[in-house]
Copies of this chain bind each other. A is one copy, B any other.
Amino acid sequence: MTHAQERSRPYGSSDELAARFRSTRSLSEALVEPLSDADATIQSMEDASPAKWHLAHTTWFWETFLLRESVADYRLFDERWPFVHNSYYETEGERIARFSRGMLSRPSLDEVVAYRAHVNEAMEDLIDDSRHADLIALGIAHEQQHQELLLTDIKHALHQNPLGPAMWERVESASGETRPADGWYGHPGGIARVGHQESGFAFDNEGPAHRVLLEPFALSQRLVTNGEWDEFMADGGYERATLWLSDGWAWIKDNAVTAPLYWREGEQFTHSGWQERDPHAPVTHISYFEADAFASWAGHRLPTEFEWEAIARGQEGEDAAHDPTAGNQLDHAAPPLPTGEGSLFGDCWQFTRSGYLPYPRFQPAAGAVGEYNGKFMSGQFVLKGASCATARGHSRASYRNFFYPHQRWQFTGLRLAKDV
């Protein structure tokens, strides 16, 4: 594309966008192939949703924001379903209490798949229309987010089962037999430009791009490993109050937390059931509180979101061949959850010490879509990178994931930083 084309077609040609729509839709369905109707129905906590609900809700998105608005004679698949499959859009009317989603044994998984087909077919009439490109790109990104949630939510649900069921065969880990090499990316400080500044899709919370002033710092070239976490635990990491934020200390006491989520003696729970823990693989399923305590114990700290982004962009600069979305992320090829050594992207989302707050001159988008990200800007922290469960092509240097400091059912990990 020419530069002018690029500006007018930030998401690629209409054929490319249509292809991405189709492959995204189809990936969602592939992810639930190993699941029974019952697997896809259960909800293990308020933070999580049933797999079936993710499938339906992502479909509701297309129906509500595109088909209902733009197709004159569009017939709703079922008139009562919007109420059931709305998530948090207050402007889109009433919705069921979040924790009741696990009661939706009906519609069945098959009916939800039929709903998806109905909407996919109707979408074919719109998919080439460049007037809808913005919403289509948003809908793809939205569905990719739910793909990751679907995977982390079903993992949490299967973990509740004392029988420890697997949804996939065990995937060989890419991490080898040796501890990854230490090393730091250095940065001299100064003014850096951060936030979404390329063509292509980005969420509203990634902009506007702006400049920030950084002090000199260094960022670890690798993630903290399971083996290092074992050392932290052996050294009384979970018993020494002075390592912990006050809220974190209360949280581990109230919840009897003594290890990362999904750990038990020598093993961790995975999509392939209980597996031996690889000491050289990145530690994952930790909370911000745990990440911060570990960093204190290690004599380092968490990076800010801008430090992380500056290094990520520097990498991009240094190495034109570097594809931040390459690596071990989720795509249509099965099995989808390998782990591996990486760039800053992949393996685990990485906690930063930056609160999830608006950038200068941030404005939420108008309408219901504007509820997308801005309304969650209190009490959460920014995570950067991407995980093994992130759809390929979904992440980028400016991407801001966000969770509360106690949440850890995502593939969350830790990359240390230090002042220099």
Contacts and interface: CB of A to CB of B under 8 A. Distances in A.
A249 B378 CA distance: 12
Interface string A157-197: 11011110100000000000000000000000001000000
B108 A38 contact: yes
A83 interface: yes
Interface in A267-326: 288-289, 292, 301
Please tell me the size bucket of the interface on A. 35 or more
Given A210-B215, A247-B378, A378-B289, A108 B162 contact: no
Contact of A38 (B90, B109, B212, B378): B109
A44 B100 CA distance: 9
Interface in A80-131: 80, 83-84, 88, 90-91, 96, 100, 102-109
Given A246-B376, A379-B247, A360 B288 contact: no
A36 interface: yes
Interface string A20-47: 0000000000000000111111101000
A211 interface: yes
Number of copies of this protein chain within its complex? 4
A249 B248 CA distance: 25
A3 interface: no
Given A242-B371, A357-B354, A160 B39 contact: no
A213 interface: yes
B353 A357 contact: yes
Interface of A: 36-42, 44, 80, 83-84, 88, 90-91, 96, 100, 102-109, 157-158, 160-163, 165, 191, 210-213, 215, 241-242, 244-249, 288-289, 292, 301, 353-355, 357-358, 360-361, 370-371, 375-379, 381, 404-405, 419
